[in-house]
Amino acid sequence: SLTLTALFSTDAQCRSGVSLHQKLLTDIETQKTGNFDNLILRWKEIYGEKAAKPLFLIARDSQKPEKTRTIAILGASELSTPKDPFFFSQLKNLLRDRNWLVRFSAIKGLEKIQSHEALESVAEKLQDHALVVRTQAAESIARMAQKNPKLGNQKTFRKLSQSLSNPINYHQGKAL
């Protein structure tokens, strides 16, 4: 009877989401292929939006490998509601991370939000020290403005224009 009760409470604990953080982390760390789309689809079917917050906790943990953090960001971005202020604040904070791949992934997540605030946050990364982050910021701004032409404003497009002509993006007159 005691054993059955212990099993039931452990099962109830798993169903309640208490161990969801660990389950998601294990899923990421044991994934064998480089394509995580199926993993994210599975999370969407099983956990839905409730997986987003634990995934952001994983993403913010600078002790985790960049691959783990990146997958967590992409998963959280896919599972979050774009209008949720928590979603925006988490991604905006990740833009300041020391790891370029984390910043790159946060930009991809912000692209889903489609708001002036998200666009402005992405535009700030046009001055990032990593070329790949600056490039992603420019591409995301273009996609956001294409999806919603009312998003763009003169200030953002001026930043984009200045970024494109910034000498840091060129070597001996050629684009990097």
The SS3 of residue 19 is coil
Q: What is the mean pLDDT of the chain?
A: 83
Residue 120 pLDDT exceeds 60:
yes
Residue 25 pLDDT exceeds 90:
yes
Report DSSP state, residue 65: -
Q: From CA 50, how far away is CA 29, in angstroms rounded?
A: 20
CA distances from 70 to 107, 156, 161 (A): 11, 26, 29
pLDDT, tens digit, 9 for 90 and up, residues 27-85: 999 987 777 889 999 999 999 999 999 999 999 999 999 999 999 999 999 999 888 99
Report DSSP state, residue 97: -
Judge whether 60 and 70 are in contact, CB under 8 Å.
Answer: no
Name the pTM for this structure.
0.79
Q: From CA 15, how far away is CA 18, in angstroms rounded?
A: 8
Q: Residues of the chain with pLDDT > 70: what percent?
A: 76
List residues bridging with 174 in a β-sheet: 171
